[in-house]
Amino acid sequence: MMGIAASLASCSFDNYDEPSIQLDGRIVYQGEPIGVSYNDVYIELWESGWQRLGNIGVAVDQDGSYSSLLFKGDYKMIIPNNQGPFQKIINDQSGNDTIPINLTGSQTIDIEVMPYYMIRNVSINGGNDQVSASFDLDQIITEDGARAIQEVSLYVSKTAFVDNRTSIATANRGGADLESMSGISLEVNVPERVPAQDYAYARVGVRIEGVEDMIFSEIVKVNL
């Protein structure tokens, strides 16, 4: 009898609908995505009315995009403090940095933020087992909220996951060594790949003093 009851309870549980409404978007500055390192920056979604003890954590992808399958309902979207190479912006509706969402169908919501710097005019090229990059930096936050550049880096990886954890070749320059924020150049020799691979993936990253997460340019596939 207990076995039948357990079976019925299991069937009842299994018949619950799974979340099917997609919420997606990007973290952006004036419509331009903010590149970050994989699995390091998170968004929190808090659902109203469910007495939840926790939140739904949504990871931001390398290109600044996010995506989650949810149930219909009212949610509060929050970027936790100290997440990302940016400052949060006050939401007009909530009066703070919380973004209220009424989810009745799939939605795309971009999250506008204020980055410390943006990476501009990026050119990354490869050949002869070398990768080179040139780029400009645009300081967005100035005056009281300004932060200095700690380091700029060129990362080269065998896969399309590109940051300091996956890099097989890295070139760095300290922020104090930058004479200008225009025409910054980096170059690195790429070691022999085993198994052999005649291409790689690369992008530029900028570390900001006192900020844990770096900001990155787009990932580029280069021939070696």
Q: What is the CATH number of the domain that holds 158?
A: 2.60.40.2060
Burial of 176 (0-12, 13-18, 19+ CB in 10 A): exposed
Say what the pLDDT of residue 194 is.
85
Say what the pLDDT of residue 8 is.
43
Say what the pLDDT of residue 9 is.
46
Say what the pLDDT of residue 16 is.
62
What is the average pLDDT across 109-124? Answer: 97
Residues 68 and 157 in one domain: no
- Residue 129 structural domain: 117-223
pLDDT digits (tens, 9 = 90+) for 35-65: 999 999 999 999 876 555 578 899 999 999 9
155: its two tokens: 């990362």
**Does 11 map to a domain?**
no
**Rounded distance, CA 210 to CA 146, Å?**
11
**Rounded distance, CA 70 to CA 20, Å?**
6
pLDDT at residue 173 tops 90: yes
Residues 126 and 153 in one domain: yes
What is the average pLDDT across 124-149? Answer: 96
* Peptide bond connecting 195 to the previous residue in cis, omega within 30 degrees of 0: yes
At 6, the pLDDT band (50, 70, 90 cuts) reads very low
Residues 109 and 153 in one domain: no
Which residue has 């997606």 as its token pair? Answer: 24
Say what the pLDDT of residue 15 is.
57
Beta bridge partners of 154: 171, 204
pLDDT at residue 86 tops 50: yes
Higher pLDDT: 3 or 176? It is 176
**Does 56 map to a domain?**
yes
pLDDT at residue 214 tops 90: yes
Of 115, 146, 181, which marks where a domain is finished? 115
Residues 127 and 179 in one domain: yes
Cα distances (Å, whole numbers) of residue 170 to 131, 153, 204: 10, 7, 10
Task: Tell me the pTM.
Answer: 0.88
Say what the pLDDT of residue 51 is.
55
Say what the pLDDT of residue 90 is.
86
Say what the pLDDT of residue 218 is.
97
